[in-house]
Structure 1
């Protein structure tokens, strides 16, 4: 199997007329993408942003981003992702803190004073990219110098944000070795042999998530490595996703939990999804009840996967044969380790725990930053059963310590989700002078439903110990979500503050 960089280079053997990206109903050919990618590459070379240079790209789900990705990664530069879904002020702050050698951004962003000032403050070369390329900012103090990103882990391909759902996002360096190891693990997991097909000739893939999230980035890299054209959704909508399924008839498609609920709520007819043999679901907790509801409605297996940005993607998951054999007995599990991945569960002192015991999950794989035989400890609480199925039991760094008792937010959220009026729930810890922390919950109600706080508290008391019951439960029209469709913790806290201020 060829590596990702080799697959990107192989694109140049494709016909210029080959369909590459479909967006908003229009197909963009490889010739169109190649022309823009080559122009980006030429301009980067003019400013001496050569192999190893760090190129900041405001990475929206649009054709220009794919051209930039091809120009940057295909020529051995490092792609530093900037999130277009943030306000201009936040993108500007991130630009100043990340300090890439060059930045590529839409003209719309360059028109804001904050972004313009940030680029000039950093003193970098900047270009507007909208179907064409235009110089917007010149480097002060001489040409860019290729970054020394060589380390024991190898050269860095992508500097990507984590989701930031529990705090400020962190930018994680992902090496070529990590990405290739992750791609190899995925292909070994599903039995795909890549690199045998002519570029852009395979079955059409569907990219659902935002490119600045590892799930969206992975969708593009996997499609290109497997020589597939793809549909690039600017954002998830039920009609956009279902329409792409109907038109291109993929066998497998990605569907995060929040999107899965949207499809179910829209009561999409089963015949519109008839081509699907499975959907994959990850990015956040996937309720087995939600998975069973989808399976019952459409007869399509839900293949849950588990991974993290730090591992450049998934490290465990379900396959369709595994699902047919084990799901009824292992529902709630996120599957088994991918080929080349080892998993174990340890206590706080690092002692390996027995089967069925909950502790901190550790991962050993070529997908980790070191790429050696080191075990990398995650912030997830988990247990492994006797058949090596992995179960995620919560997050160690989310635990709420209430008067000496630990409260796992996901346990409380699950109790709230079990009420028929609750569509989804999120729980966080609030500082308390007497108890240290107390749990606070926010619930998103099913359309047309209403329920009082007292009734919800009475409901969860039947499922929780007294110290796990939230001190406050707020009902909202919809939970705020990040680009990966996870609940955005920072926006959630802001929302609760507004609700409580208005109530006071």
Structure 2
């Protein structure tokens, strides 16, 4: 199998006159991408990272970040992702938990907090601008670390279900296999519509979006973040036959009342990364006549493992409505009883386990409740661990609770998922104050949380209560907590 570094070398040899990435109304050709990637490769080597040293990377959805990712992968470097969509203090804390000779961030993310951590840890800094890269003043040289001996990996952040988001290693070989399993190694068809990329570059969906498009030479239209207007403009301009977006986008498109004729080219709409409300799916399909194809996967599985394909939808129609599809090639699924631990027959609900061949042949126990029917279709019923599925991000309530308890005015706190028509669920926090403490402003609590957690963890709904509901064991009564938010939640 061709290595990921070799695939990137092929990509960096594409005709430089061909268009590569469109961002904010401007097309950047492959010549510009290649020149920037080569410049970044030089700067990383000169910074103390050596030939293959790992790099801490906080990408924003910009063309320079895509060029930087190509540069790192072409050199066979380990990439340690952190989220850029968090406060300067949280970015600095994330860097402090990791180690490398150099960190690559957008220039504006080299805040005083970040610079202080880099200096203290002996790390260099490479700043990305508008298709530019530079060694940041005062951070030109990092302390060299030993050259890695293991196979290179991309450490992608999981959703932080037991604390701060944790890095999960995806070997370069797994990403290379994904590229080559697309059917062809390179695409050279300028008449084919570009690939619309709106997932964050640093998460599993973003990495595989790059693998399915840019690494195969396909033109990319890059969005800083998903908006209905930008998505609609793309569909109207390029008239693709298939489209897709995060699950939250489905309700957003409906709310925006996008005219059906604007989407008439689409034969399918693909989505995954989080559950989709079946009523929202039904409304979309009834309004636009476009079948929604669901999928199921996770960072820990090395990407998607189950999918509803156009062929399956055509064969089964509405008989499997709401299913995320059948297992992909080589994937094995089973369901266990959460109490007895016995493997359950088709049609019975339990805890999902699976084998993902990308990650090996061991069974992976999930925290998802699922049903596998007699025809092998998987139906995702929710989470067994109380995790809040906020769009494509999984958040455990305890993560938010621990951070809120660091606030000096808070005595106790309980967090639950509150239903949301766009992103499936959002956090709701019920707060019990210490005696004599004045009730803080919600904005103050949000600012406090941003010092410790990514923005995806910030509660949308707040309740201030005299006493949190407790069960007979004096633990937080989660059902009782949920009832606090069943009426119109208050801030």
TM-score scaled by length of structure 1: 0.76
Equivalent in 157, 161, 168 of residue 157 of structure 2 = 161
Asked if the contact 2:11/2:215 (under 8 Å) is kept, the reply is: no
- Cα deviation for residue 324 of structure 1 reads 2.0
Equivalence for 1:421? none
What per-residue deviation string (whole Å, max 9, x for no partner) do you get for residues 310-366 of structure 1?
Answer: 122110011112112224111121100111211111234653221112222112122
Equivalence for 1:278? 268
Following superposition of structure 1 onto structure 2, how do residues 129-144 of structure 1 map, counting pairs within 5 Å?
Answer: 129-130=128-129, 131-136=131-136, 137-138=138-139, 142-144=143-145
Equivalence for 2:336? 346
- Cα deviation for residue 495 of structure 1 reads 4.3
Task: Report whether the alignment pairs 1:173 with 2:173.
Answer: no
CA distance in 1, matches of 2:271, 2:302: 16
For residue 367 of structure 1, give the secondary structure of its aligned residue in structure 2.
helix
- Cα deviation for residue 157 of structure 1 reads 2.6
User: 1:244–1:164: structure 2 CA closer, same or farther, 3 Å change rule?
Assistant: farther
For residue 202 of structure 2, give the secondary structure of its aligned residue in structure 1.
coil
Task: Report whether the alignment pairs 1:365 with 2:356.
Answer: yes
Asked if the contact 2:463/2:490 (under 8 Å) is kept, the reply is: no
Equivalence for 2:33? 33
Residue-pair matches, total: 422
- Cα deviation for residue 33 of structure 1 reads 0.9
CA distance in 1, matches of 2:261, 2:457: 39
User: 1:304–1:145: structure 2 CA closer, same or farther, 3 Å change rule?
Assistant: same
Equivalence for 1:308? 298
What per-residue deviation string (whole Å, max 9, x for no partner) do you get for residues 269-290 of structure 1?
Answer: 1121122221111111112221
- Cα deviation for residue 182 of structure 1 reads 4.1
Equivalence for 1:8? 8
Following superposition of structure 1 onto structure 2, how do residues 410-449 of structure 1 map, counting pairs within 5 Å?
Answer: 442-444=418-420
Please provide the CA RMSD for this pair.
3.3
TM-score scaled by length of structure 2: 0.78
CA distance in 1, matches of 2:266, 2:382: 31
User: 1:169–1:363: structure 2 CA closer, same or farther, 3 Å change rule?
Assistant: same
- Cα deviation for residue 49 of structure 1 reads 2.1
Task: Report whether the alignment pairs 1:356 with 2:322.
Answer: no
What per-residue deviation string (whole Å, max 9, x for no partner) do you get for residues 221-276 of structure 1?
Answer: 11024331110011111111111111122222222221111111111011211222
Asked if the contact 1:167/1:490 (under 8 Å) is kept, the reply is: no
- Cα deviation for residue 441 of structure 1 reads 5.7
For residue 98 of structure 1, give the secondary structure of its aligned residue in structure 2.
coil
What per-residue deviation string (whole Å, max 9, x for no partner) do you get for residues 75-115 of structure 1?
Answer: 100111121111111001001101222111122122x2101
CA distance in 2, matches of 1:201, 1:138: 44
User: 1:47–1:107: structure 2 CA closer, same or farther, 3 Å change rule?
Assistant: closer
For residue 213 of structure 2, give the secondary structure of its aligned residue in structure 1.
helix
CA distance in 1, matches of 2:38, 2:266: 36
User: 1:7–1:497: structure 2 CA closer, same or farther, 3 Å change rule?
Assistant: farther
What per-residue deviation string (whole Å, max 9, x for no partner) do you get for residues 113-136 of structure 1?
Answer: 101101112111111121322222
Asked if the contact 1:160/1:171 (under 8 Å) is kept, the reply is: yes
Task: Report whether the alignment pairs 1:392 with 2:368.
Answer: no
Most deviating of 310-319 and 42-51: 42-51
For residue 398 of structure 1, give the secondary structure of its aligned residue in structure 2.
coil
CA distance in 1, matches of 2:462, 2:235: 37
User: 1:97–1:428: structure 2 CA closer, same or farther, 3 Å change rule?
Assistant: closer
For residue 496 of structure 1, give the secondary structure of its aligned residue in structure 2.
strand
- Cα deviation for residue 500 of structure 1 reads 9.1
Equivalence for 1:224? 214
Most deviating of 241-250 and 382-391: 241-250
Equivalence for 2:462? 496
Equivalence for 2:148? 147
CA distance in 1, matches of 2:396, 2:103: 37
CA distance in 1, matches of 2:20, 2:337: 48
What per-residue deviation string (whole Å, max 9, x for no partner) do you get for residues 199-234 of structure 1?
Answer: 877531111211122112211211024331110011
CA distance in 2, matches of 1:313, 1:43: 31
Asked if the contact 2:333/2:354 (under 8 Å) is kept, the reply is: yes
User: 1:440–1:146: structure 2 CA closer, same or farther, 3 Å change rule?
Assistant: closer
Equivalent in 244, 262, 286 of residue 296 of structure 1 = 286
CA distance in 2, matches of 1:390, 1:183: 25
Equivalence for 1:405? none
Asked if the contact 2:61/2:225 (under 8 Å) is kept, the reply is: yes
For residue 65 of structure 2, give the secondary structure of its aligned residue in structure 1.
helix
- Cα deviation for residue 427 of structure 1 reads 11
Task: Report whether the alignment pairs 1:122 with 2:121.
Answer: yes
For residue 169 of structure 2, give the secondary structure of its aligned residue in structure 1.
strand
Asked if the contact 2:157/2:168 (under 8 Å) is kept, the reply is: yes
Asked if the contact 1:165/1:490 (under 8 Å) is kept, the reply is: no
